[in-house]
């Protein structure tokens, strides 16, 4: 039986969306369990922040002094990460990229993406805000006007911001990719931000993780694949 031309074109288009995916590295759809599991690292006193229910991960801030931190320990240089998210009372969260062995930055943070319902920011933490020398200046209330201006310029060149519309109580598909010194972010298949900055290229990343502020933000369908330059944004629908 011959395949109708329109159906053939559709099948070819769908195949092309997935043909350039890199090899799978890590995936979690949170199905068929109620515990977070050993795949992730959390502080014992924050354990109540993380619930797996109805096939999704629910993260809530329980420590008023710090967001709830979830970490996936996995070595990588470049990154191609996808996940679904839903703001369900939470105010913001960070996708944080770390090297726990890097001593020039605060808590190993080398780069991040910051999400709020209305704004997305990509940041080079290693050169920018989490660099220990830069952080010292940020906390210095007696910084001279000249140094303050230089600090503001440095922070501006190590981050980029974009307007988004992540409506609460709705699922949104996110993709973040790091290739060399460039990080790109997509929402629902549309690129919303990119940043090229030297700290993004840090070669020995040891983990990625979510830091959630407020109550709560839901996550699902986490997928990490081998990062390949030039790959397109595949279509993913929440299950």
In a domain, 58, yes or no: yes
- For tokens 């229910």, the residue is 53
Cβ partners under 8 Å of residue 48, min gap 6: 62
72-95 as b/e, with b when 16 or more CB fall inside 10 Å? beeebebbbbbbbbbbbebebbbb
Cα–Cα distance measured from residue 214 to residue 144, given in angstroms and rounded to the nearest whole number: 35
Q: Alpha-carbon distance 39 to 72, whole Å? A: 7
Residue with tokens 């010194």: 181
Q: Would residue 9 count as lying in a domain?
A: no
* Residue 1 pLDDT > 50: no
Predicted confidence (pLDDT) per residue in 85-103, tens digit = 999 999 999 999 999 999 9
Task: Note whether residue 150 is domain-resident.
Answer: yes
Tell whether 195 is covered by a domain.
Answer: yes
Q: Is 63 helix (H, G, I), strand (E, B) or coil?
A: coil
The pTM (predicted TM-score) of the whole model is 0.86
Q: Is residue 111 part of a domain?
A: yes
| CATH label of the domain that carries residue 167 | 2.60.120.560
pLDDT band at 46 (very low <50, low <70, confident <90, very high): confident
Q: Is the pLDDT of residue 15 over 60?
A: no
Q: Are 50 and 56 within 8 A, CB to CB?
A: no
Residue 120, in any domain of the structure: yes
Enclosing domain of residue 196? 24-225
Structure-block tokens of residue 151: 């600090």
pLDDT at 41 over 80: yes
Tokens of 110: 């080398």
Residue 208 lies in a domain: yes
**Could you give the number of structural domains in the chain?**
1
Peptide bond just before 216 cis, omega within 30 deg? yes
């Amino acid at each position: 039986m011959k395949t109708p031309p329109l159906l053939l074109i559709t099948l070819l288009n769908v195949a092309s969306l997935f043909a350039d995916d890199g090899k799978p590295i890590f995936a979690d759809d949170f199905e068929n369990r109620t515990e977070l599991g050993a795949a992730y690292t959390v502080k014992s006193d924050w354990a109540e922040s993380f619930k797996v229910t109805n096939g999704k991960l629910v993260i809530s801030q329980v420590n008023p002094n710090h967001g709830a931190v979830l970490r996936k320990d996995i070595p990588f240089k470049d990154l191609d990460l996808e996940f679904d998210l839903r703001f369900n009372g939470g105010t913001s969260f960070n996708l944080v990229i770390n090297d726990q062995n890097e001593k020039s930055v605060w808590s190993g943070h080398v780069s991040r993406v910051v999400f709020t319902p209305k704004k997305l920011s990509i940041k080079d933490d290693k050169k920018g805000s989490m660099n220990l020398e830069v952080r010292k200046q940020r906390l210095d209330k007696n910084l001279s006007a000249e140094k303050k201006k230089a600090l503001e310029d440095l922070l501006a060149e190590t981050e980029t911001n974009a307007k988004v519309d992540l409506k609460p109580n709705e699922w949104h598909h996110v993709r973040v990719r790091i290739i060399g010194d460039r990080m790109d972010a997509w929402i629902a298949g549309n690129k919303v931000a990119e940043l090229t900055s030297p700290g993004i290229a840090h070669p020995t990343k040891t983990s990625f993780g979510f830091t959630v502020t407020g109550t709560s933000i839901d996550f699902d369908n986490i997928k990490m694949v081998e990062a390949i330059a030039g790959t397109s944004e595949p279509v993913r629908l929440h299950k």
